[in-house]
């Protein structure tokens, strides 16, 4: 029940395209859903986060869509750029407890 399932495992997108990464969870106690971006040899950096009382949050080119009834949330990267090439992790937590991470998506944006 603590799992967060993430797909796809890897993704190749052309420059200017939309990158979409999906996550699903089971624990209904989760109430905070952050996305992290990790470059090789670096720690994860918080990208954007959402709480379940909203269905969408947008920050620049990054948008989280949240479907509470389906227990799914997704990250959309608009106008994807080569500099966006990284590994993306979704995560979930509830009640101030530890983060549960997805398995990660390796994104490559090609010219």
Partner 1 sequence: GAVVSQHPSRVICKSGTSVKIECRSLDFQATTMFWYRQFPKQSLMLMATSNEGSKATYEQGVEKDKFLINHASLTLSTLTVTSAHPEDSSFYICSARDNSAGWVNQPQHFGDGTRLSIL
In whole angstroms, how far apart are CA 61 and each of 86, 108, 109? Answer: 15, 16, 14
1 binds partner 1 (CB under 8 A): no
**Binding segment (CB under 8 A) for partner 1, from list 11-19, 26-34, 60-68, 73-81:** 26-34
DSSP structure class, residue 71: T
Q: Is the dihedral of CA 88, 94, 97, 103 positive or negative?
A: negative
What count of residues does the chain have? 111
**Binding segment (CB under 8 A) for partner 1, from list 12-20, 55-63, 72-80, 89-97:** 89-97
In whole angstroms, how far apart are CA 94 and each of 8, 50, 65, 71, 81? Answer: 24, 12, 18, 14, 33
52 binds partner 1 (CB under 8 A): no
Residue 66, token pair as written in the block? 């949240």
**Binding segment (CB under 8 A) for partner 1, from list 14-22, 55-63, 68-76, 103-111:** 103-111
Residue with smaller CB distance to partner 1, 17 or 94: 94
For binding to partner 1 (CB under 8 A), which residues are involved?
Answer: 31-32, 34, 36, 41-46, 49, 51, 89, 93-96, 98-99, 101-104, 106
């Amino acid at each position: 029940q603590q799992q967060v399932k993430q797909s796809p495992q890897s993704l190749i997108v052309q420059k200017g395209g939309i990158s979409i990464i999906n996550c699903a969870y089971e624990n209904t106690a989760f109430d905070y859903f952050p996305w992290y971006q990790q470059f090789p040899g670096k720690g994860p950096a918080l990208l954007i986060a959402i709480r379940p009382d909203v269905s969408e949050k947008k920050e620049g080119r990054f948008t989280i869509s949240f479907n509470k009834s389906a227990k799914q949330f997704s990250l959309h990267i608009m106008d994807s750029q080569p500099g966006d090439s990284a590994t993306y992790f979704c995560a979930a937590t509830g009640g101030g407890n530890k983060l549960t991470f997805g398995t990660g998506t390796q994104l490559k944006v090609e010219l």
